[in-house]
Structure 1
């Protein structure tokens, strides 16, 4: 068993992948905890899909792909805010409009790029953690340090705004700035996770570890710590599965995270489906709910 863990680490690409997996697991779960508490999962989805045209444009103009993705992600949040504040369109509808348009633009640009070159940009869609370069590891490390530093320094303010935005505004906190800052942190996190899980699956790493921790603990800082641990475990386990069984790395990582979530959903000591006393057996309650759907 020990040999199975050590053997892949003799290769430099696996060492880079392991470090990237740890960083992505930590930063995604930490930032994703805010999305979970604020019920803004769609915002993470919108930004993650919106970075794709930035990746394609950066490649066309021959400058850093991470920078292009970040600029596109931030620009998408500005467009969402502009639509929401300048019209009667609700925020969730604005997110859906923007991320679908940006994603379509990204796919179109990637298709155009691939007509003239043989480079494959599809790994940005689904991730390929086993192919990260040293420079990409450094970029991910820098982003992770920046994001975690901001969260530590502004933890109280962000927590106040997360749980009581109206109270935070009444107390004089710059809520608009905090909201925009949180969007920037999300964009940075997505950029850091691009090579590991891709733009399509990054939402799973933002939400699933935090959701799993949400079923097990009750305080935000505990949720972040446990979510980070679960994110790291999912990333490393998925990486090893990808190596030994020749699986796509991004989907493997996400499936491990989903498996942990299902275990917590079923067997959480406080919120588990099968661990809570019920007056009606679970199978009968589920059957009643199904029948109720048809009746309504």
Structure 2
């Protein structure tokens, strides 16, 4: 399997995507932002569709749209009372824009399929290097703000009392999340990318409560789903995103059963 260059590219890209998703996902869950990853998936779809229409690489369009809109959407949906309305309105708008851009472009339907469901097995070495660089940026910035981000995510009241600049931390994190969404969508597609950014971290919190341990376990779950999904996709020629979604769902169900029968 690894004798094939496209599979080597897929595993390298998938590994970096899984690490980024596992790390950022812990803070997504802690900050109560799974809804935002779902909204950003529709925005990323619109961005990638616009890129196809404009003749750009899809990743560039996703980064442009998600980074420009992440802060605005995040601030609009801070209040829980209007969160559902914001999600519905923004998701509907950007889904519609994505469909419009695809209909106006001269590309075939395969472009839409790649954007929606991912196409990691067809990724080029140039695209692998793009993902590696973007992943490195996310990891480095996250490590630089790790202590205040952890404090603000898991004890926001205490963070404000101690003078941590919560607004600045939130803005930086939203930009990191936007980059992570664009990166993760390359392997599981715009529709399913929130799986890698939520389920591994949501599963990890049932097995441990330490933040560092949670991050390690979340990354491990993300890697298992990605690697096994790529392997099963290679064996069956079925979509890799299907296997990743299935594996992460099984891990999450196992975490719930562990919590119910071994912790309570």
Do both share a fold (TM > 0.5)? yes
* Higher RCO, Cα 8 Å, sep 6+: 2
Q: Where in structure 2 are the equivalents of 1:92-171 lying within 5 Å?
A: 92-113=84-105, 116-118=106-108, 120-121=110-111, 122-171=113-162
In 2: Cα distance, 1:153 partner to 1:94 partner: 31
Query: Retained in 2: the 8 A contact 1:54–1:65?
Result: yes
In 2: Cα distance, 1:275 partner to 1:66 partner: 43
Query: Retained in 1: the 8 A contact 2:47–2:98?
Result: yes
Structure 1 match to 2:51: 58
Deviation at 1:81, TM superposition (A): 4.8
Structure 2 unaligned runs (5+)? none
Structure 1 match to 2:28: 35
Query: Retained in 2: the 8 A contact 1:36–1:211?
Result: yes
Structure 1 pair 48–274 and aligned structure 2 pair: CA distance change class (3 A): same
Deviation at 1:35, TM superposition (A): 1.2
Deviation at 1:78, TM superposition (A): 3.8
Pair 1:194-2:181 in alignment: no
In 2: Cα distance, 1:42 partner to 1:48 partner: 10
Query: Retained in 2: the 8 A contact 1:50–1:99?
Result: yes
Deviation at 1:222, TM superposition (A): 0.9
Pair 1:14-2:4 in alignment: no
In 2: Cα distance, 1:201 partner to 1:136 partner: 20
Q: Provide, for residues 43-80 of structure 1, a one-character-per-residue CA deviation record: whole Å limited to 9, x for no partner.
A: 11111211112112222222332222111112222432
Query: Retained in 2: the 8 A contact 1:48–1:187?
Result: no
Provide the TM-score with structure 1 as the length reference.
0.83
Number of equivalences: 263
Query: Retained in 2: the 8 A contact 1:238–1:256?
Result: yes
Root mean square deviation, CA, Å: 2.0
Structure 2 match to 1:219: 210
Greater C-alpha Rg: 1
Structure 1 pair 83–18 and aligned structure 2 pair: CA distance change class (3 A): closer
Deviation at 1:123, TM superposition (A): 1.1
Deviation at 1:138, TM superposition (A): 0.8
In 2: Cα distance, 1:171 partner to 1:212 partner: 30
Deviation at 1:117, TM superposition (A): 3.0
In 1: Cα distance, 2:261 partner to 2:213 partner: 23
Provide the TM-score with structure 2 as the length reference.
0.92
Structure 1 unaligned runs (5+)? 1-7, 278-296
